[in-house]
């Protein structure tokens, strides 16, 4: 019937409107900021940088590969790669961002930086109360302001953070197993080299091979008596 969809839509709207007077589930607004609705686990606002451990600088996962900087649609990420390296979570020396800024006033919360990061180093925060009267500097966040611990990541996105931890632990176990296998192979090679018999001495002009003590006594015999040179 013509207009069937419109009537159904109006009926649904009316059901929600009148239902909101009697049903708590239909109340979609609260008296913010005194009242707050719990943040959904998959909510996203602006990005933050994840660090492991207690030191944000030492534990920063970002290796300054700059993929996110290149892929960010409005180009609001600014990274300067370090000139030295520091160990990453598996102990491998890696570059780190000497500068990592995000202009939050430009960021459009698209999450592309998160999707393209190969190191699980950047994630989306749920914090939205960021108002400031400093239009420019106040919303340009540096690496320290952007850093949040892995515990914080677990608190706001528990399911996703647990999956990431499992993935990183698996990767770390693989790297450790490979390093252990390489060390064992090197030790076995060294042990095999140590147990190999010494190479036979070179034969002299008569075709006879001399042992080391014999060679020494032969040398002594050719020396002039009295030990002079
Ligand atoms: S969320 Fe989107 S716009 Fe914001 S920094 Fe990441 S890539 Fe750029
Ligand atoms: S956040 Fe990820 S993608 Fe961006 S520079 Fe760091 S490691 Fe690379």
- What is the C-alpha to C-alpha distance for residues 38 and 97, in angstroms, rounded to an integer? 34
> Do the domain assignments include residue 213?
no
Best of 72, 114, 126 to mutate for ligand 1, by most ligand atoms within 8 A of CB?
A: 72
> Do the domain assignments include residue 206?
no
**Secondary structure E strands in 104-216:** 122-124, 140-141, 147-149
* pLDDT(96) > 60: yes
Asked whether the whole model's pTM tops 0.85, one would answer no
* pLDDT(203) > 70: no
Best of 44, 47, 49, 114 to mutate for ligand 1, by most ligand atoms within 8 A of CB?
A: 47
Quick one: pLDDT band at residue 223, thresholds 50, 70, 90? very low
Pairing of strands 140-141, 97-103: antiparallel
Report the domain count for the chain: 1
- What is the C-alpha to C-alpha distance for residues 127 and 45, in angstroms, rounded to an integer? 7
Nearest atom, ligand 1, residue 114 CA: 6
pLDDT value at residue 199: 61
Whole-number Å distance, alpha carbon 173 to ligand 2 midpoint, is 22
Whole-number Å distance, alpha carbon 62 to ligand 1 midpoint, is 16
What's the chain's average pLDDT?
86
> Do the domain assignments include residue 33?
no
* pLDDT(205) > 80: no
- CATH number, position 134: 3.30.70.3270
- What is the C-alpha to C-alpha distance for residues 140 and 142, in angstroms, rounded to an integer? 7
Q: What are the tens digits of pLDDT across the range 29-76?
A: 889 999 988 899 999 999 999 999 999 999 999 999 999 999 999 999
> Do the domain assignments include residue 227?
no
- Residue-range definition of the domain harbouring residue 68: 47-170
> Do the domain assignments include residue 182?
no
> Do the domain assignments include residue 23?
no
Quick one: pLDDT band at residue 167, thresholds 50, 70, 90? very high
> What DSSP character marks residue 203?
B
Whole-number Å distance, alpha carbon 208 to ligand 1 midpoint, is 81
Whole-number Å distance, alpha carbon 163 to ligand 1 midpoint, is 22
> Do the domain assignments include residue 196?
no
């Amino acid at each position: 019937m013509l207009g069937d969809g419109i009537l159904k839509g109006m009926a649904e709207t009316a059901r929600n409107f009148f239902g909101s007077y009697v049903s708590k589930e239909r109340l979609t607004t609260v008296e913010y900021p005194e009242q707050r609705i719990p943040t959904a686990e998959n909510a996203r606002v602006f990005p933050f940088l994840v660090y492991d451990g207690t030191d944000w600088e030492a534990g920063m996962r970002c290796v300054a590969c700059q993929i996110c900087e290149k892929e960010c649609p409005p180009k609001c990420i600014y990274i300067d790669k370090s000139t030295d390296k520091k160990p990453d979570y598996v102990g491998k020396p890696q570059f780190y961002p000497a500068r990592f800024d995000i202009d939050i006033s430009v960021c459009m919360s698209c999450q592309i930086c998160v999707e393209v990061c190969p190191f699980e180093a950047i994630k989306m925060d749920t914090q939205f109360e960021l108002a400031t009267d400093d239009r420019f500097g106040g919303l340009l966040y540096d690496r320290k302001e952007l850093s949040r611990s892995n515990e914080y990541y677990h608190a706001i996105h528990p399911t996703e953070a647990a999956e990431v931890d499992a993935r990183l632990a698996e990767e770390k176990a693989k790297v450790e197993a490979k390093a252990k296998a390489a060390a064992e192979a090197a030790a076995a090679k060294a042990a095999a080299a140590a147990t190999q018999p010494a190479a036979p001495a070179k034969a002299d002009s008569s075709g006879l091979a001399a042992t080391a003590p014999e060679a020494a006594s032969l040398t002594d015999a050719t020396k002039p008596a009295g030990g002079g040179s």
